[in-house]
Amino acid sequence: MSFYAETWRGNVSLYRYRDRAVAHDVLARLKAMDLHLRLMHVCGTHQDTLSRHGLDVLLDACGVQVRQGPGCPVCVTTAKEFEEAAVLAEAGKTVLTFGDVARVPGRRGSLLNLRGEGHDVRVVYSVNDAVALARRETKDMVFMAAGFETTAPTTAAVALTGLPANFTVLSCHRYLPPALNALLAMGATQVDGIIEPGHVSAIIGLKPYEGLSAQYGIPQVVAGFEPLDLLMAVYMLAQQIQRGDATVENEYTRVVRYEGNLRALDAMRRVFVPSDVEWRGFPVIPHSGMAMKPPFEAWDARKVWADDLQRVDDLVEETPGCQCGAVLRGVIEAPNCPLFGTTCTPIHPAGPCMVSVEGSCHIAYKYPQGRALRAT
Amino acid sequence: MCLAIPGKIVSLEGERGVADFMGVEREVVLTFVPQAKRGDYVLVHAGFAIEVLDRAEAEKTLAVWRELLRRDVAG
């Protein structure tokens, strides 16, 4: 057996959760239930699994539509936040960020475009790499930190171990549950159940979702990212709905524990305080932002570089015609945006949902088989 | 963005380790998974292990699904 095959077989999470026979069983059961369901998930990786394996088409044939909500941190980061990073780059700081973030078009092009104009923008894989760069060089460095609860603990962890004086964090981190609450309260999206993201849930556990089920009577299942994970999550939701239940269940038990990851939660609590922030496509969502607590002000880019950031005005808007906001609210499907596949493609994206590999536009473009389905 | 890749821990020292991602080795921060041991599979997001994969739980889930489906089809 080759090394790779051995690794593959040894890794139960990848190997066994693609069992075709079990998948067909689940689909047959769903079909027999005579369903007419609209489910929402809030994770780009879920969308990728659904599209890559054609599950969206298979589930549609069982009467189950699954649509992506505001679950792509790069996509929900606002044009104003990208403008903040751009202004700091133009003011001579080195801006460090993740690859997807650097490619999102803003008012004056993407952060990577700014590099073409001579400004210092660099892509990093981890906040650790960003800190290592700041320790090696004397330039002022700003880390544009985007991401939900999966990513925020990594920023918190480096802040707690001590940061160099030339390093600051532009926190664009967000809490996911307040957005789910806002979405359900708006009532714009009629959904029968929510598939919750496995890796955010690995950090926060199941408790933050329980209030939503109680308040809105909405069934929720935390799911992993293999094809069987998603099919089983749909099956569990369908059973809850048929029983008339509205509870929080966990399909991803091999990773997610009820209480979440206490160490990561503790790091996040020590560094960040909830703040009211806008999300792209949404108005201000109370307590959904992660601002840095006062003890970390010396590394908070918004405090340290407040003078530079005064140049950012409040009226930064999306690209004309871009429907990312409506796509993120789950109000329209990606292919129904007039720019989709014409002026907006992964090579020349008009909005973040086409840039990010987690964005619904990018995924719909990449897997055209399901596109006709999603456009109806 | 919340993509996390399973890697097998090949060595560790304190809160740092090296994980094997299908043949590629890379440093991993283990701050959030103090229970991780050599040979464990960890889910790694942006350079940090966020959880240890529970192999027994993974096998149990599959067994429960099979049983559930068998029972439902029979019932």
Q: Which residues of A touch B28 (CB under 8 A)?
A: none
User: To the nearest whole number, what is the mean pLDDT of chain A?
Assistant: 91
Q: Which residues of B touch A358 (CB under 8 A)?
A: 1-3
Q: Do B8 and A126 touch (CB under 8 A)?
A: no
What are the mean pLDDT values of chain B's consecutive 10-residue runs (75 residues total)? 86 96 93 96 95 87 76 56
- The residue of chain A nearest to residue B24, with distances taken between CA atoms, is A4
Which residue is listed with tokens 């529970």?
B54
Q: Which residues of B touch A228 (CB under 8 A)?
A: 65
- The residue of chain B nearest to residue A251, with distances taken between CA atoms, is B61
Kindly give the confidence (pLDDT) of every residue in chain A, 376 residues in length, as a single tens digit, with 9 standing for 90 and above: 333 444 444 554 455 688 888 899 899 999 999 999 999 999 999 999 999 999 999 999 999 999 888 888 999 999 999 999 999 999 999 999 999 999 998 877 899 999 999 999 999 999 999 999 999 999 999 999 999 999 999 999 999 999 999 999 999 999 999 999 998 998 766 899 999 999 999 999 999 999 999 999 999 999 999 999 999 999 999 999 999 999 999 999 999 999 999 999 999 999 999 999 999 988 899 999 999 999 999 999 999 999 999 989 776 667 788 999 999 888 888 999 999 999 999 999 999 999 988 899 999 999 987 655 555 5
Does residue A26 sit at the B interface (CB-CB below 8 Å)?
A: yes
User: Which tokens is B73 given?
Assistant: 């089809």
Looking at residue A198, its amino acid is G
Q: Do B58 and A16 touch (CB under 8 A)?
A: yes
Q: Are A184 and A193 in contact (CB under 8 A)?
A: no
Question: In CATH, what number does B5-74 get?
Answer: 2.30.30.140
Q: Do B46 and A251 touch (CB under 8 A)?
A: no
The distance of Cα B10 from the centroid of its chain, to the nearest Å, equals 13
- A contact residues 35-74, partner B, Cβ 8 Å cutoff: 43-45, 72-74
Q: Which of A16, A46, A126, A196 is the best residue to mutate to test the B interface, defined by the most B CB atoms within 10 Å of its own CB? A: A126
Does residue B74 sit at the A interface (CB-CB below 8 Å)?
A: no
State how far the Cα of A204 lies from the Cα of A170, in Å rounded to an integer.
22
Half-sphere exposure of A120 (CA within 13 A, CB side): 13
Domain spans of chain B, in order of start:
5-74
Using alpha carbons only, how large is chain B's radius of gyration in Å?
16
Angle A218-A224-A227 from CA coordinates, rounded to 5°: 105
Task: Measure CB to CB from residue A126 to each of B8, B47, B59 and give the nearest one.
Answer: B47
Q: Which residues of B touch A44 (CB under 8 A)?
A: 1-2
State how far the Cα of A198 lies from the Cα of B6, in Å rounded to an integer.
13
For residue A55, give how far its alpha carbon lies from the nearest alpha carbon of chain B (Å).
Answer: 18
Instruction: Give per-residue pLDDT as tens, A39-77.
Output: 999 999 999 999 999 999 999 999 999 988 888 899 999
Does residue B57 sit at the A interface (CB-CB below 8 Å)?
A: yes
Q: Do A44 and B61 touch (CB under 8 A)?
A: no
Instruction: Name B48's bridge partners.
Output: B29, B45
State how far the Cα of B6 lies from the Cα of B54, in Å rounded to an integer.
12
Looking at residue A372, its amino acid is A
State how far the Cα of A334 lies from the Cα of A60, in Å rounded to an integer.
17
User: Which tokens is A56 given?
Assistant: 């969206």
Helix (H), strand (E) counts: chain A: 22, 11
Q: Do A7 and B47 touch (CB under 8 A)?
A: no
The residue among A117, A122, A108, A105 whose CA lies nearest residue A349 is A105
Q: Are B2 and A43 in contact (CB under 8 A)?
A: yes
Start-to-end CA span in chain A (Å): 46
Prediction pTM value: 0.92
